[in-house]
A and B are shown apart, each in its own frame.
Chain A
């Protein structure tokens, strides 16, 4: 370790004021503080000791919470691929195949994102922030396996620049950065991120007879139009291949979809890590699931088609609701920041997701828009919570 420290020390003069790479000091510092927690000490007045947790550790906690979803995603991409082409292969082959399609997306997301971030740090001369550790992973996990890599790169640049850096960097953004990336692709290149063809990695192979690449949400939506009970439609989907949309299959995540979003179980494992470590707000997660369920019930009451009449707990396991509620809605920067506000914010995300899913034909998956919409409304929710606090203080004064 001493050698590494010496290496950093030896190149340091180049980055200091007057050195030839003076402009890149922030990058030097960024790398050094990743290798070594800095030797900064507390100021002479104020708290003389500080908590051992910093933002890097908080962020890495979120990344670790996403790893189960990532690993499952890799497996599932392989699984879905060989299912679609009708080949029986070992799990190792499936995993390798999944890795082959997921890894490039992950690498592009991180490389391009960090590159953009570094560029901004140098131009704006602000420290390299650890926020992208999480964003890079999130962007990869919400992409369909078939996505062209240049689109991943473009979306990442868009999200980092327009979603975050224009507001001043990590901690200042209004919208969730990863969701911004996905929404960008959804509206700019819908062909590659919606429909029935993109959720299973086919390569140049053709699917077996009877295979349909539709997502559970699309199946349910079409069942609503056709007047077929949703549970029947889900159960008969790809039934000949043994890959129907049973509640259990969807809960486990052996269904087509974006890389990391399919498994409710893995999202819940992530939720347990996030809630136990206190990094994410349990209030948002609980009220998010609760909001979806209650809105599902309301839909049942006013059911005018079969999709509306679907049992509400199916909403929990279909699409990206679980992933979105656990990893996207809980992003502390773009979420509501007051404790009361978090209940309302999470609830509305869940409820809005179901409304968008069930009533809007253009967006079978609602979580993306629900999160972005509530990101925009979070400050409004907080505004009223804060106002209530002020009012309490004011009333106390006049009593």
Chain B
């Protein structure tokens, strides 16, 4: 019953700065951080360690008092060097100075055959891999008490400069399969593995067992799991579905087969401002400074954890986000441009073809900076968002419902089906420059906490 879905809406941003499919030797990161802000929906984080404590990879660092089964573990062994708080003592970062040789807590292997569902849930929640399971609606860390109607895995990332999942997960076949086996025990419904129908499917995914493999093809956001869910088994009011990234599935597999919290992953180091681009093996929460410093082509840059559509600006000493599998370095755009709204150009990337926007003639790659190219305005142009959101959703009306804080409308217009990343392209193409991802999150929070 696997499905083959061709999406006609969307837009591929052909950004300069792709990573070559090869491993690059970077100095390994020395400090690592857990950022509670990465975990959307975390309400009352409670830190379990103090500055100066030594931890192993797999030692619990914090948990959310609102969902205390789920433990957030240290990705490395070493010493807690700083617990950084912001305004109103909001917990921002827990920094760990890593040992040269990482030692692991023994969390115990899991025998999937003899373990029942509730024990499995307990072990995954205590084993640090649970935060990889994201609940839809809302896009928050899943509640172990729930049972989802289905679990969805998008096996490809269609974002700009995104890492190639087949390359990143090379050699992890057995862990991936073990992770899938665990997931199939978590739901009485199906586990969907959605692969890129436009490319040769990596054997890792093609040979996956116990899951339904669906093919999606089309421009970005074809790789967004929210879009895929919409076309496979849409979320209605009251439904709960879970999503996991392939990297998360592999880390689950490692916990199951090895009995340890191994948060290592291969990330893509990308962006037009880097001299050396490629893939590097590191660990979740790594400091990006060793990948960036001494590797820059220019001075005025922005380092982004994640991709340019949904990522987060971090400093040059910042840390890789928990869910991010790439860093992107692009030029900062803090300059004025004489008659920038009028001058014709083939080099300025635009989805639109308004007068002088000739980027559609340019088949090459675009170097794009962080300039907004205009100021925020009310919605004026209609019909644009619809072209980049391949779902049966009326985005403009949904956004307006959120602005008006109209709960019924938000529900009825499909806010349960989307999270920030699904409207990232809308935010990119919007000529009125509204912050739509933030808007969607504020709408979700209204629905969640009311």
Chain A residues packing against B (C-beta within 8 Å): 1, 4-5, 33-58, 60-61, 64, 127, 129, 131, 168-172, 273, 276-279, 281, 332-333, 335, 337-339, 342, 382, 385-386, 389-390, 392-394, 396-397
Contacts and interface: CB of A to CB of B under 8 A. Distances in A.
5 contacts: A46-B437, A47-B308, A51-B351, A172-B378, A277-B354
A397 B352 contact: no
Contact of A339 (B334, B339, B383, B412): B383
B200 interface: no
Contacts of B373: 37, 50-54
B369 A53 contact: no
B336 A171 contact: no
Interface string B366-388: 00111111110111111100100
Given A35-B338, A45-B437, A52 B309 contact: no
Q: Which of B312, B414, B431 has the most CB of A within 10 A?
A: B431
B354 A57 contact: yes
A53 B357 contact: yes
B27 interface: no
Contacts of A51: 349-352, 373, 428-431
B377 A55 contact: yes
A168 B403 CA distance: 15
Given A38-B374, A390-B412, A277 B428 contact: no
B308 A48 contact: yes
Given A58-B354, A171-B377, A46 B336 contact: no
Contacts of A52: 345, 348-350, 357, 359, 373
A53 B433 CA distance: 9
Contacts of B313: 43-45, 48
A245 B351 CA distance: 43
Contact of A47 (B339, B341, B427): B427
B375 A54 contact: yes
In the A-B complex, the 7 residue pairs with the smallest Cβ-Cβ separation, listed nearest first, are A54-B374, A37-B340, A171-B378, A397-B236, A52-B348, A36-B336, A44-B313
Contact of B433 (A48, A54, A168, A170): A54
A390 B397 CA distance: 11
A46 B339 contact: no
Contacts of A279: 352, 354, 381
A333 B392 CA distance: 22
Given A33-B375, A171-B379, A53 B394 contact: no
Contacts of B392: 389, 392-393
A340 to B, nearest CB: 10
B42 to A, nearest CB: 15
B237 A60 contact: no
In this complex, which of A43, A49, A131, A171 has the most chain B Cβ atoms within 10 angstroms of its Cβ?
A: A49
A48 B427 CA distance: 10
B170 interface: no
B438 interface: yes
Contacts of B370: 41-42, 48-49
A50 B338 contact: no
A58 B435 contact: no
B293 interface: no
Contacts of A389: 392-394, 413
Nearest to A169: B378
Contacts of A4: 338
Contacts of B430: 50-51
Nearest to B349: A52
A34 B342 CA distance: 9
Given A47-B310, A48-B308, A279-B354, A37 B339 contact: yes
B118 interface: no
Contacts of B431: 51, 53-55, 57-58
Nearest to B355: A61
Contacts of A333: 380
Contact of B333 (A41, A47, A382, A394): A41
Interface string B243-275: 000000000000000000000000000000000
B312 A53 contact: no
Contacts of A337: 382-383, 396-397
A35 B313 CA distance: 29
B208 to A, nearest CB: 28
A61 B354 contact: yes
Interface string B1-39: 000000000000101000000000000000000000000
A48 B352 contact: no
A390 B371 CA distance: 37
Contacts of B420: 46
Contacts of A5: 336
A394 B234 CA distance: 11
Contact of B372 (A36, A50, A273): A50
**Which of A51, A394, A396 is packed against the most chain B CB atoms within 10 Å?**
A51
Contacts of A46: 310, 420, 424, 427, 435-438
